[in-house]
Amino acid sequence: MSRAYYMITNNPLVITSTYKNIDIVPVKTLGIMDVLMTTRDFLHQGHRLITHPLTGSLKPNENPYKSVLISKKQDVCDFNDVALLEQCTASAEKFIKGKALPKYCDRKANDFMLVDQLLIEGSLK
Amino acid sequence: MRLELGKINIKDVVLGSEMKVSSGVLTVDVNQLEALVLEDDRIQKVTIELAKPGDSIRITPVKDVIEPRVKVNGSGTIFPGVIDNKVAQVGDGRTHVLSGTSVITVGKIMGFQEGIVDMSGIGADYTPFSKTLNICVVLEPVEGIEPHAYETAAREAGLKVANAIGEAGKTVVPDTIEVFEHLGLVGQAMAYPELPKIGYVCMLQSQGLLHDTYVYGVDAKNIIPTIMAPTEFMDGAVISGNCVASCDKIPTYLHQNDPIIEDLLAKHGKELNFMGVIITNENVFLADKERSSDGVAKLAKMMNLDGVLISEEGYGNPDTDLMMNCKKVERNGIKTVLITDEFPGRDGKSESLADAVKEADALVSCGQGNLVITMPPMDKVIGTLEDIETMIGGYDGSMKEDGSIEAEIQIIISATSAFGCNKLSARMY
Amino acid sequence: MKKFRVVHYINNFFAGIGGEEKADIPPEMRVGAHGPGLALQQAFGEEAEVVATVICGDSYYGENMESAEEELLEMIKEQSPDLFIAGPAFNAGRYGVACGAIAKAVQESLDIPVVSGMYEENPGVDMFKKEFHIIKTGNSAADMRHSMPKLATLGMKLLKGDLIGSPSEEQYHTRGIRINYFNDKRGSLRAVEMLLKKVKGQTYETEYPMPDFGQVAPNPAIKDFTQVKVAIVTSGGVVPTDNPDRIESSSATKYGIYDISAYEAMPSDVFTTIHGGYDRTYALEDINRVVPLDVMRELEKEGRIGSLEKYFVTTTGTGTSVGNARRFGQEFSQKLMEDGVGAVILTST
């Protein structure tokens, strides 16, 4: 199995890091939704989902940063992956509904970045 | 494997200069504990404070809750693989419990701190730890410490303190002694051939920093599903490194006092044959989820189980593991009941879980975490209120001028923990 | 003691104005209770008074949702009501959807309690059950005698701020709202007991029902499209410009089958869309956006599909009951199969 990946992420700590066999796909906006939408678009084109889109217990209404790993290799679109992503999107939406992402001071924003980064990195071998 | 669990009922705790239990009163040696914690040079300052049921005290931010226990005899020590580098098999012999007390580690690790324990008022109704005599260990790390290091330091501090306090119970005659015996898988099957064989699938949080659990000191991220005896949990074989979402957190205390294990053991040999515990993890890699859920289904089948209870820790990512475990176990012809909490949004109208399968037709709900309540101000705060508004469940404006807190019950420690320790539930209107 | 003021919404039929031929009447207001409003008034007794009845034709509402709502809201506001009752609509789909829409609007803009009543298959139930309480009724007006008092009772409870009981106690459709409560037993014990029941084959009740997944297993994938006759089916409400079969713009009770064999692409002067549930601007510019005839013709020419069926099947998706949708599918798929169609491109909006 190919070990090349794309990392879809809006996390500055992740964007500025280098990982072996992983190309970064940066997303500009904060919050989870655009990361999920970009991931969805890739899945439609046949990339496979490698990590779960809802990592961590920090809820989508408060966590500005999210990284998702997908395969670089394209195949036939996998409907299970798409279904999982749609469910995650629905789940994220219900948390975000009616709430704006808080504006964090640098230290706190950094904490959020760090946890997202470590959750993704923790499984990379 | 045979364990005698001796419970020493503690009626009160006082701070003092020795560690002892006498007539149900626990005295804790403050100097000893402080010195013990400060052995770790990652920690700059520590204070020991008490919080008792009914006090007007708010404890926050809480990192872990741990019950003081001690091995009286039998192999190993409490919290194997973590304290003092001792790692030996636990779960047999005799263990004493200082029942009714807990050690609570308090301290800021990151910007989104974990939650609140109120000892009185409406907030107290939602946490099990408003009913315990709490010895709070308030920690301050050295300047500039990296979060990973601080998490480890705080985790170890709590376990060391609980251990040291537990020692006070070693020679005390317990008020009650329960005996739990595991006859081996074949032995159990032969001992109760008529009873349904029940297993407990215990899902352990394992996503990464502040989202970890340790089994005999091993990071649960790195395990493949395996079988454990219920008594191993009683001796602290599984400890918590998870401190992000308060309401469905499983603190070490709940691993030690797993209500599912308790309720299964209560019926063991009478209505069911409790065959054992299958532990598994909740990794972020989908391939890991497939591997682990396959392993769970296989072990359940190898154990010839008729039914399993499956609990989880966390939300979102773990919901997928929960459903995979359910689906694969059911397809092996084994019945499942899932225990989980819910997040249907503030208005209660959205789908509660992030994943669903049609095989999950038997589910126990531990309540929904989005309910907003207002907790009255408390006379005393152990810890700090600084980060209330960035805690999960908190938001801009949560902290009121008069000291009361309006927040989702997500902010309360173990309010909706999916081990089912509370009576809180949710129903459909 | 103050008498509460109630406004009642009914349609052309229940107002005694006329049947289907009068379904296009615009909103109007009449003083006091009318039609089934009299039963409502009786149920309220002395506690409340139906001060006004607002009426609208079902298809008028469906085709002019925004303006009808505005007009009705004005009429309702003028009455300064304390409570708003809509229907009951029983199994009438368009009426149910109208009741739901106006009740939701009243609740939002006037901040007063609202109640309606519908039969379980009425599409209005699924659409609006989360917005407010909908009493369970029978499937026809024959049930009026039994249902109306329940609407009144629940309405009064809401007015007085009484604790509203469970769906089975108060007889409203389960709304799908999760509410916490403290059980007598802790969760782990309830789980052990539930498992024992399940293992022994006894009945048990889950505390959280899984969402309905539907029961249609997909057919196996097509291996070779070049041999297959394909048909286009749409729920986008595309019909000939004169809508000869009078397919409704919402809560459809019929489907249509129309010839497209003469066309290389959907012509905008021959076809239109009457669907009331989406902004039709882009569809009206180019109907191929909803019924992709142009692309299908290309595929046909390139030999990528065997052939394209000479007709397409159409209905309106929005507000259409699951029961009706199922029935349509069962019926026209028979015809498709008889005509040798092997696959369908289904477009929805």
Q: Which residue has the tokens 């030690």?
A: B256
Question: Residues B366-400: pLDDT tens digits?
Answer: 999 999 999 999 999 999 998 888 888 888 889 99
Same domain, C15 and C148: yes
CA dist A78 → A44, B10, B292 (Å) = 8, 57, 21
CA distance B312 to chain C (A): 12
Contact A95 B343 (CB under 8 A): yes
Bridge partners, B35 (sequence order)? none
**Residue C191 covered by a domain:** no
Q: Which of B57-61, B79-83, C4-8, C41-45 has the lowest mean pLDDT?
A: B79-83
Neighbours of C122 (CB within 10 A): 33
Burial class (CB in 10 A: 0-12, 13-18, 19+), B176: exposed
CA distance B259 to chain A (A): 23
Q: For residue C234, which phi and psi values (nearest 5 degrees)?
A: -140, 150
Q: Which of A80-84, B85-89, B130-134 has the lowest mean pLDDT?
A: B85-89
Q: Which residues of C256-276 are buried (b: 16+ CB within 10 A; e: fewer)?
A: bebebeeeebbeeeebbbbbb
B140 has a chain A CB within 8 A of its CB: no
Same domain, C41 and C156: yes
pLDDT reported for residue B111: 62
Chain B residue with Cα closest to A57: B245
Q: Is the pLDDT of residue C156 over 80?
A: yes
Average predicted confidence (pLDDT) for chain A: 90
CA dist C191 → A31, C24, C227, C313 (Å) = 37, 55, 54, 49
pLDDT reported for residue A125: 60
Quote the domain boundaries for residue C56: 4-170
Distance CA B371, CA C258 (A): 52
pLDDT reported for residue B366: 96
Which of these, A97, A116, A96, A110, lies nearest to A56 by C-alpha position?
A116
Q: Which of residues 20-59 of A touch B (CB under 8 A)?
A: 49-52, 54-59
Distance CA B232, CA B77 (A): 11
Angle at B269 between CA B266 and CA B274, to 5 degrees: 70
CATH of the domain at C152: 3.40.50.2300
Angle at B104 between CA B103 and CA B110, to 5 degrees: 150
**Residue C201 covered by a domain:** no
Distance CA A88, CA A81 (A): 11
Q: Which pLDDT band, with edges at 50, 70 and 90, does B210 fall under?
A: confident
Chain C positions touching B271 (Cβ under 8 A) are 196
Mean pLDDT of A46-71: 91
Q: Residue C200 contacts by C-beta under 8 Å, 6 or more apart in sequence? A: B196
| Segments making up each domain of chain B, as ranges | 2-411
Q: For residue C22, which phi and psi values (nearest 5 degrees)?
A: -110, 15
Contact B419 C167 (CB under 8 A): no
pLDDT reported for residue A2: 57
Q: Which of residues 164-223 of C touch B (CB under 8 A)?
A: 164, 166-167, 174-192, 194-196, 198-200, 204, 206-211, 213
Chain A residue with Cα closest to B243: A57
Q: Rounding to the nearest 10 degrees, give the CA dihedral for residues B231, B232, B237, B241.
A: -50
Question: Chains with ≥3 Cβ pairs under 8 A against C?
Answer: B
pLDDT reported for residue A62: 85
Which of these, C278, C194, C284, C48, lies nearest to B425 by C-alpha position?
C194
Residue B136 is a catalytic residue:
no
- The length of chain B in residues reads 429
DSSP letter, residue C162: P
Which of these, B388, B258, B90, lies nearest to B250 by C-alpha position?
B258
Q: Which residue has the tokens 């209500």?
A: B259
Distance CA B238, CA A8 (A): 34
- The residue type of C200 is K
CA distance B37 to chain A (A): 25
Chain B positions touching C215 (Cβ under 8 A) are none
Contact B428 C188 (CB under 8 A): no
Same domain, C130 and C238: no
pLDDT reported for residue A124: 77
- Taking one residue from B and the other from C, the number of pairs with CB-CB distance under 8 angstroms is 158
Q: Which pLDDT band, with edges at 50, 70 and 90, does A102 fall under?
A: confident
Distance CA B409, CA B425 (A): 13
Do the strands B93-99 and B20-22 form a parallel or antiparallel pair, or are they unpaired?
unpaired
Average predicted confidence (pLDDT) for chain C: 93
Question: Residues B400-421: pLDDT tens digits?
Answer: 999 999 999 999 999 999 999 9
Q: Which helix (H) or strand (E) holds A11?
A: none
Distance CA C276, CA C12 (A): 20
Same domain, C158 and C270: no
pLDDT reported for residue B14: 97
E-state strands within B303-342: 307-311, 335-342
Q: Is the pLDDT of residue B127 over 90?
A: yes
Q: Residue B165 contacts by C-beta under 8 Å, 6 or more apart in sequence? A: B19, B26, B28, B33, B68, B98, B101, B103, B135
Q: For residue B33, which phi and psi values (nearest 5 degrees)?
A: -65, -45
Q: Residue A28 contacts by C-beta under 8 Å, 6 or more apart in sequence? A: A10, A34
Which two structure tokens, joined as six digits, stand for B14?
């006082």
Question: Residues A8-21: pLDDT tens digits?
Answer: 999 999 999 999 99
Burial class (CB in 10 A: 0-12, 13-18, 19+), C203: exposed
Distance CA C101, CA C218 (A): 34
Q: Which pLDDT band, with edges at 50, 70 and 90, does C137 fall under?
A: very high
Q: Residue B371 contacts by C-beta under 8 Å, 6 or more apart in sequence? A: B348, B408, B409, C180
Average predicted confidence (pLDDT) for chain B: 94
Neighbours of A104 (CB within 10 A): 18
Q: Rounding to the nearest 10 degrees, give the CA dihedral for residues B263, B265, B269, B271.
A: 10
Contact A62 B392 (CB under 8 A): yes
pLDDT reported for residue B245: 80
Distance CA C215, CA B429 (A): 25
Distance CA C235, CA C206 (A): 35
Neighbours of C326 (CB within 10 A): 11
- The length of chain C in residues reads 349
Which two structure tokens, joined as six digits, stand for C276?
């009331």
| Segments making up each domain of chain A, as ranges | 5-121
DSSP SS3 for A27: coil
- The residue type of B306 is D
Note whether B413 and B251 are within 8 A (CB): yes
- The residue type of B198 is I
Query: A interface mutation test: which of B112, B240, B355, B399 has the most A CBs within 10 A?
Result: B112
Chain A residue with Cα closest to B249: A57
DSSP SS3 for C322: helix
Q: Rounding to the nearest 10 degrees, give the CA dihedral for residues B164, B168, B173, B176.
A: -50
Q: Whole-prediction pTM value?
A: 0.85
Of residues C167, C186, C206, nearest to B362 (C-beta): C206
ipTM of the complex as predicted = 0.95
Distance CA B37, CA C319 (A): 65
Distance CA B78, CA B253 (A): 13
Query: B interface mutation test: which of C127, C174, C178, C189 has the most B CBs within 10 A?
Result: C178
Counting Cα atoms < 13 Å in the Cβ hemisphere of C312 gives 28
Q: Rounding to the nearest 10 degrees, give the CA dihedral for residues A61, A66, A69, A72.
A: 110
Q: Which pLDDT band, with edges at 50, 70 and 90, does C213 fall under?
A: low
Of residues C166, C174, C181, nearest to B425 (C-beta): C181
Contact B207 A56 (CB under 8 A): yes
Question: Residues B249-286: pLDDT tens digits?
Answer: 899 999 999 999 999 999 999 999 999 999 999 999 99
Bridge partners, B26 (sequence order)? B13, B21
Q: Is the pLDDT of residue B294 over 90?
A: yes
Question: Residues C243-300: pLDDT tens digits?
Answer: 999 898 878 889 999 999 999 999 989 999 998 778 888 999 999 999 999 999 999 9
Chain A positions touching B287 (Cβ under 8 A) are 50
Distance CA C349, CA C335 (A): 24
Of residues B287, B395, B410, nearest to A99 (C-beta): B395
Burial class (CB in 10 A: 0-12, 13-18, 19+), C207: buried
Q: Is the pLDDT of residue B112 over 70?
A: no
Mean pLDDT of A95-114: 85
Q: Total structural domains in chain C? A: 2
Contact C179 B429 (CB under 8 A): yes
DSSP letter, residue C312: E
Counting Cα atoms < 13 Å in the Cβ hemisphere of C1 gives 5
Catalytic residue, from B243, B247, B326, B366: name it.
Answer: B243
